[in-house]
Structure 1
Amino acid sequence: LVTVIASVIAPSMQSRAIDSLVAGEFGRVPKILLTMLALYAFHAGATLLQGFFSATLSRNVIRRLRAQLFNKIINLPVSYLDTHSHGDIMSRMTNDAENVSTVISQSLTSLFSGVLTLLGTITVMLSFSVPLTFLTFSTVILTVIVTKIMSYLMHKFYVKRQVLLGTLNGIVEEKVSFGKTVTAYNLESRTIDEFTKASDSLTKTGIIADIIGNAMGPLMNMLNNCSFVIVAAIGAWFALKGYISVGVISAFIIYSKQFSRPINELAQLYGQIETAVAGAERIFSILDEPGEDHGPNLPLNVSGGVIEFKNVNFSYVKGKQIIHDFTLKVEAGKKIALVGSTGCGKTTIVNLLMRFYDIDSGSITVDGTDIREISKDSLRDSIGIVLQDTVLFSDTVRANLKYADQTISDQKMIEAAALANCDKVVETLSDGYDTILTGGGANLSQGQRQLLTISRAFLSYPKILILDEATSSVDTRTERNIQDAMVRLMQNRTSLIIAHRLSTIQDADMIVVMDKGRIIEKGTHRELLAKGGNYYQLYMTQFAGNSI
């Protein structure tokens, strides 16, 4: 506000100084000049403070926006994260949020001070000369028309540019994460071509967007210069006729530029504004997504751990059913194994039990309680799980093992590590349990990462245990050691095991064979071998070398 007041008053003081010189009243000039100097000093100080406060405001706003966005992403349903590029989601958190921050720090203050400057300038201009004021407005109509046309074009290409940037980030994130696979298949050239193609599309769109955005400034300058010429020419004619003084002409020339300056500044920043708007749309598209429904706030009290699937049907995509009329009862404390070829629906059953996805029809109960009638938090707290893909965080081994509960004592952590034969892995690390795992455990072998995740599951001491391909990435000797530990761990716990390696589940209380989302066989290892059915063929394929 101080900046606006100083910028509006200063030209009128200049007008008085010029009129005093023309009238020969030289004694008034020094006082007017000192007043102008004070006004410009106040203007400079206020501008500095304005920059400080706008920067502070933008940082605080973007901090809260990122916090809300991260909180939303963490609470999105698994189905959303499974169907959207992680690189694109991260681009919204970084690039899009930063673009919004830039506009807040630069454009918001310009917009606020610009509106006040326009109001103050118009008021003073009207007090000097109404005709010249309306002549200054003559270019505003053209400015509005040009801005509307350019803004339509800019919005189209700026949104497209942000989408392509998200796609490019997704490609980079994916290829860097799976760089070993790219190298192993000698697909570096194809990967580079894929990146180049996406990068070229982004570059072409960016060039068009920048051309349109950069054209706004020159167009606005041209219109402003037209206004300047009109004011100077008509003002001179008014002065010759005696309607206004020379000082008023001088003031009006400054006011005409001051009147157009906020419009010109906004035009120059319009490209950034459109980029921020496009980014904000992408951010709010995530914020507007429905979060995961955690269900009724009712706890699950697991007494025995009986799990029962009744006529369960499920499809990830409507019309493409994955699970068909799945019915299975897992008694308390029993060890049940799900086997079958890849894509038969084993992991999907785990996803449904954990309520990462909700079933289409039927029911799933734990100790007779439908899992849809209890909170997801309570359900997941009652289940320990080792996922097929090992997940470790860039933190210490200790923090990773205690991920579910950081208050667990070191003694219990060491005991759990010993149960999973994880203690031998930790002993080989430079700082033991305080060793920092980089890149999600990239400095460990796949087998070592698997042992750490199993040890982490031990620490939760759940009533129900799920092992999804838990030993698929370890050698035979380690697998045997893990199996011995599993026997101790799974005592008095309901356990659901999913594995392709049949050696890990031969002692299961029941083996369930699945094919295309249906149960086709079930029984003990010996019973299924005696039947000579699908399980027998799987067994012979792995252990006798026969083909199916």
Structure 2
Amino acid sequence: MSNQKKPQSGGPMGHGPGGGNMMMMGQKAKDFKGTLRRLLTYLKPRRNQLLAVFFAAILSTVFMIVGPKIMGTAITELFEGAYGKFQGIPGAAINFDKIGQILLVLAGLYVFSSLFNYVQQYIMSSVAQNTVYDLREDVNKKLEKLPLHYFDGRPNGETLSRMTNDIDTIGSTLQQSLTQFITSIVTIVGIIIMMLSISPILTLISIVSLPISIFVIRPILKRSQKHFADQQRTLGQLNGHIEEMYTGHQVVKAFGHEKKAGAQFDLVNEELYEAGRKAQFISGIIMPMMFFIGNLSYVLISVVGGILVTQRAISIGDIQAFITYSKQFTQPITQTANIANIIQSTVAAAERVFELLDEEEETKEITTTSLTRAQGAVTFEHVDFGYGEDLLIEDMNIEVLPGQTVAIVGPTGAGKTTMINLLMRFYELNGGKIKLDGLDTREMSRHDLRESFGMVLQDTWLFNGTIKDNIAYGKSGVTDEEVFAAARTAHADHFIRTLPDGYETILNEEASNISEGQKQLLTIARAVLADPPIMILDEATSSVDTRTEVFIQQAMNRLMEGRTSFVIAHRLSTIKDADLILVMDQGKVIEQGTHSELLEENGFYADLYNSQFSEKVG
């Protein structure tokens, strides 16, 4: 699942970027009511603030709605004074004092409206940010409790998207759309009340124009939906094509596929152009049609209103106010329709977040034993394990003494990494026991267990920060001298000091400003600093040159001194001196012994070793 936000084009309703498009393309929640109720529980602690927002929104809107009516009173006063003076009525004159008072009242209303609008936005920003803060906290805590198989079974981008994009969507909706939704509803109700207070007949004329507009634009909307769907589809294809060509540009150039890639781009780009042109053209007809019907309504209102004025049934100021209300009437209806779809998409985003929060957590810890510092004795007793219904490891029995170096070899998929994952309790056993110093690992806390292990993996992990901080990651509260000593032990001190900023050199996000071998030396230094009683080494020299391999092997040998070590080996020549070699195939330990003992048996290990030797000679 891609976590990139695709640009949205103007929708058929024509109200801002992506307005109508979102209405058609918005993702829907599977359980709208249930998810909405759960989302509201995050707002429950802030119900007093929400109540204040609600009243502030009502007052702000009411003050704004009353404005045209008061303005109409001023116009009526001006018209009647001017008309009387024109007719030569004795004592007739424009009462500027009264008009001035009305305008002052109007100005005061608009000031109060703006003030309450500011208050609602200020309070709502606090509500929105605190709500998404709580959501992020809950998601972060959840991620710490999820088992490894959750991350193994899902793309990292999907989890990241749920924690960032989906929560941001919720925050944006709470901040903007919720207050706008309240304002729109109050505006619709308020305008209808004000129009009815002026003239029920004119109100009927104004409201009737809405169903006529919907009847006219519905066929256009249906036709434009197809083209907007094509536009989104081809936009996704274009983005995918560009991403593939950009990330793999070296391969494209190496195989001379530039023209083919360009032709494919032109083809998809042309489809996008056609779909976008048709969608925008058809949706562009909607607003002129709505304006046309609206203008017919204005003409009818003006004609009927003029007749009512001549009959003294309504004042001229009220006609002006009514026309203003009729123009304002359609805007909150359109906003409400758009916001309803935004809320639909937001609830869908919340559902994705709640799905993450509902994921099954790691088995609850039942801590009955504690471990200060392990001696390093490890025992597998009749261990069974499978990722699904079928068992990968069956009846595994291994005994490792403190200080021993155990090499694990075997073909791809034999269960080597799985065995390490079980040792670290990243997965729970189907049966049997794994013991550390005679204690069942399931009876101790995961923190205590994993504190006993250090890991140097084939895939190095370094974060954006200084080299010193990356090494110090292995242990909290260390001094600079301890970091330097660990680097010297790992044969990393020399190359670090040759860098322009030495230990203060900043590694970029992918740590691409140092070589693969140097990265590996830093991870070894980190493990040295942590000083664990048991080490796990996944073939750390497979992607480096021979000279660097020698340095890394020396560093690893020093790291393993006096410790129980588990080494996953692909190059069998590197583990000839191991105290115990476990040969795995299809989840079972089929052979075990020293290098010389296994060669003498002339079995599976001997075939593996001799095949590597033959390949090198050949």
Is TM > 0.5 for Structure 1 vs Structure 2? yes
Could you tell which deviates more after superposition, 341-350 or 231-240? 231-240
Measure, in 2, the Cα distance between the counterparts of 1:255 and 1:332: 86
Could you tell which deviates more after superposition, 161-170 or 422-431? 161-170
Matched, 1:3 2:74: no
Indicate the residue corresponding to 1:15 in structure 2.
Answer: 72
CA deviations on 1:258-298 (whole Å, 9 max, x unpaired) are: 34332233345667656655544444443443444563456
> What letter is aligned with 1:311?
H
CA, structure 1 residues 313+155, in 2 after alignment: closer, same or farther (shift >3 Å)? Answer: farther
Indicate the residue corresponding to 2:433 in structure 1.
Answer: 363
Measure, in 2, the Cα distance between the counterparts of 1:463 and 1:443: 32
> What letter is aligned with 2:72?
S
> What letter is aligned with 1:308?
T
Could you tell which deviates more after superposition, 188-197 or 60-69? 188-197
Indicate the residue corresponding to 1:424 in structure 2.
Answer: 494
**1:504: Cα distance to partner?**
2.1
Measure, in 2, the Cα distance between the counterparts of 1:355 and 1:112: 51
Paired residue for 2:386, among 291, 311, 315?
A: 315
Could you tell which deviates more after superposition, 34-43 or 443-452? 34-43
Any stretches of 5+ residues in structure 1 without a counterpart?
A: none
**1:238: Cα distance to partner?**
4.7
**1:212: Cα distance to partner?**
9.8
Measure, in 2, the Cα distance between the counterparts of 1:38 and 1:361: 77
Matched, 1:305 2:362: no
CA, structure 1 residues 246+291, in 2 after alignment: closer, same or farther (shift >3 Å)? Answer: farther
CA, structure 1 residues 458+66, in 2 after alignment: closer, same or farther (shift >3 Å)? Answer: same
> What letter is aligned with 2:408?
L
Measure, in 2, the Cα distance between the counterparts of 1:483 and 1:407: 28
**1:431: Cα distance to partner?**
1.4
CA, structure 1 residues 99+292, in 2 after alignment: closer, same or farther (shift >3 Å)? Answer: same
- Alignment check: 8 A CA contact 1:92 1:166 kept: no
CA, structure 1 residues 527+216, in 2 after alignment: closer, same or farther (shift >3 Å)? Answer: farther
CA, structure 1 residues 183+65, in 2 after alignment: closer, same or farther (shift >3 Å)? Answer: farther
Measure, in 1, the Cα distance between the counterparts of 2:562 and 2:112: 78
Indicate the residue corresponding to 1:470 in structure 2.
Answer: 540
Measure, in 2, the Cα distance between the counterparts of 1:51 and 1:150: 36
Measure, in 1, the Cα distance between the counterparts of 2:447 and 2:297: 66
**1:26: Cα distance to partner?**
6.2
Q: Secondary structure at the match of 1:308?
A: strand
Indicate the residue corresponding to 1:39 in structure 2.
Answer: 109
CA, structure 1 residues 365+400, in 2 after alignment: closer, same or farther (shift >3 Å)? Answer: same
**1:394: Cα distance to partner?**
1.1
CA, structure 1 residues 274+485, in 2 after alignment: closer, same or farther (shift >3 Å)? Answer: same
Paired residue for 1:455, among 525, 528, 533?
A: 525
Measure, in 2, the Cα distance between the counterparts of 1:431 and 1:491: 31
Indicate the residue corresponding to 1:543 in structure 2.
Answer: 613
Measure, in 2, the Cα distance between the counterparts of 1:200 and 1:284: 40
**1:437: Cα distance to partner?**
0.9
Could you tell which deviates more after superposition, 235-244 or 457-466? 235-244
**1:328: Cα distance to partner?**
2.0
> What letter is aligned with 1:8?
I
Q: Count residues with an aligned counterpart.
A: 547
Q: Secondary structure at the match of 1:84?
A: coil
CA, structure 1 residues 171+421, in 2 after alignment: closer, same or farther (shift >3 Å)? Answer: farther
Paired residue for 2:458, among 388, 411, 433?
A: 388
TM-score (norm 2): 0.73
- Alignment check: 8 A CA contact 1:396 1:436 kept: yes
Measure, in 2, the Cα distance between the counterparts of 1:433 and 1:71: 33
Q: Secondary structure at the match of 1:347?
A: helix
Measure, in 2, the Cα distance between the counterparts of 1:324 and 1:216: 68
**1:396: Cα distance to partner?**
0.7
Any stretches of 5+ residues in structure 2 without a counterpart?
A: 1-57, 82-94
CA, structure 1 residues 387+164, in 2 after alignment: closer, same or farther (shift >3 Å)? Answer: farther
CA, structure 1 residues 91+232, in 2 after alignment: closer, same or farther (shift >3 Å)? Answer: farther
Measure, in 2, the Cα distance between the counterparts of 1:181 and 1:444: 23
Q: Secondary structure at the match of 1:356?
A: coil
CA deviations on 1:428-487 (whole Å, 9 max, x unpaired) are: 222111111113321111111111111111221112211111333344444444444444
Seq. identity, %: 40
Indicate the residue corresponding to 2:182 in structure 1.
Answer: 112
Q: Secondary structure at the match of 2:465?
A: coil
CA, structure 1 residues 146+311, in 2 after alignment: closer, same or farther (shift >3 Å)? Answer: farther
TM-score (norm 1): 0.81
Indicate the residue corresponding to 2:573 in structure 1.
Answer: 503
CA, structure 1 residues 169+383, in 2 after alignment: closer, same or farther (shift >3 Å)? Answer: farther
CA deviations on 1:298-332 (whole Å, 9 max, x unpaired) are: 6641543332223333333x355433433322223
Measure, in 2, the Cα distance between the counterparts of 1:54 and 1:396: 40
Indicate the residue corresponding to 1:373 in structure 2.
Answer: 443
Could you tell which deviates more after superposition, 364-373 or 269-278? 269-278
